[in-house]
Structure 1
Amino acid sequence: MKDFNHYVDKYKEQLNKGDIQEAYVGLVKYVTRLGTTLSKNLSEQYSFGSLFQGYMDYTYFYYTNDFLKQRKLKMGLVLNHSKMQFEIWLLGHTIPLQEKYWEYFKSTKWNKHRMTRPQYAILETTLIEKPDFNDLDKLTRQIEEKLVLVTNEILQDIKKSKLN
């Protein structure tokens, strides 16, 4: 097993190249603008929260509506850095609530390949698998369209579950 100094040296090497900082700042700026755009365009359907930068693992923001709030649920639009893809997560305000909804959602299409509940969510689904960061306007439109479709599907499944 490598010692911590080894990892710090590798980290410093990468920082000295400058590419990681450039990419990370660009990604965070994009997700921030994305949140602002979605908040403006979808304000009649959802309210959007602030950006969370994460630890170079996930950059995300929450969004919700009255239906979700009544059930103490919220959605997350997540940039998964290690997979470099956009995802939608369904989240509960507490672990027991997430476990309750997991019992329903584990047998749906959203979790068909999972044996255990995701670490942070009730369900996680890929929204954009290979985002093209060279055309941010197009990417934003794709995310907005898919976010509305996928979120509506998830909301329909919550309604079917008859869980409150």
Structure 2
Amino acid sequence: MPNQSLNARIPAYKNAFASGELQQTYQALVGIVQNLRTEFSKKYEGEFAVANVLHGYIDFTYFYLQNDFLKTKKLKLALVLNHKNANFELWLLGQTRDIQSHYWKKLSGTKWVNTEVMPEYSVFEVALLSAPDFDDAAKLSASVHLQFQTLWREISEVLALCE
């Protein structure tokens, strides 16, 4: 399909929107991320600054988390809903591409880093919840929080050791 002209792809694009199901599903998923952002903001008040939800691109909906520890390293986390995979991921991001590259190299021995290729937008992208149950909001939220806490503890320990 990428070899087709934009005009040749438009009919499939229009068909995807025709029923309204795509828009409804997208809005429901964005709403889930917005609710998670609100929960994170309350639960981690004083521990993390939690930014607003960023969306508008069809591939990712996310919000940033940063604390003093990450800030001193010019890093932040992103809790990401990957629409293509319909899963939640936790990304470690650098303030600049150079900082991302620096930490990608420093963390290359960890289980999170793909040493073959650095991700385009982050130091690493790790599955937080591979098969979320979008129909059970309470279970989804509890699972995301539990996985975040576990993963953040591991990441912070490794970051503390690599300086």
Equivalent in the alignment of 1:125: 126
- What is the SS of the residue equivalent to 2:53? strand
Equivalent in the alignment of 1:87: 89
- Which runs of at least 4 in structure 1 moved beyond 2 Å after TM superposition? none
Equivalent in the alignment of 2:101: 99
Q: What letter corresponds to residue 150 of structure 1 in structure 2? A: L
Cα deviation digits, residues 16-38 of structure 1 (max 9, x gap)? 11110010010111101110011
Residues in 1 aligned to 2:8 and 2:141: alpha-carbon distance in whole angstroms = 39
Residues in 1 aligned to 2:44 and 2:147: alpha-carbon distance in whole angstroms = 13
Equivalent in the alignment of 1:34: 36
Tell which deviates more after alignment, 101-110 or 75-84. Answer: 101-110
Q: 46, 65, 69: which one pairs with 2:71?
A: 69
Contact (CA 8 Å) 1:46, 1:65: kept in 2 or not?
yes
Contact (CA 8 Å) 1:61, 1:77: kept in 2 or not?
yes
What TM-score results when the alignment is normalised by the length of structure 2?
0.95
Q: CA deviation at 1:54?
A: 4.2
Tell which deviates more after alignment, 150-159 or 36-45. Answer: 36-45
Q: CA deviation at 1:6?
A: 2.3
Q: CA deviation at 1:2?
A: 1.8
User: Aligned pair count?
Assistant: 161
Q: What letter corresponds to residue 54 of structure 2 in structure 1? A: F
Equivalent in the alignment of 1:9: 11
Structure 1: runs of 5 or more not aligned: none
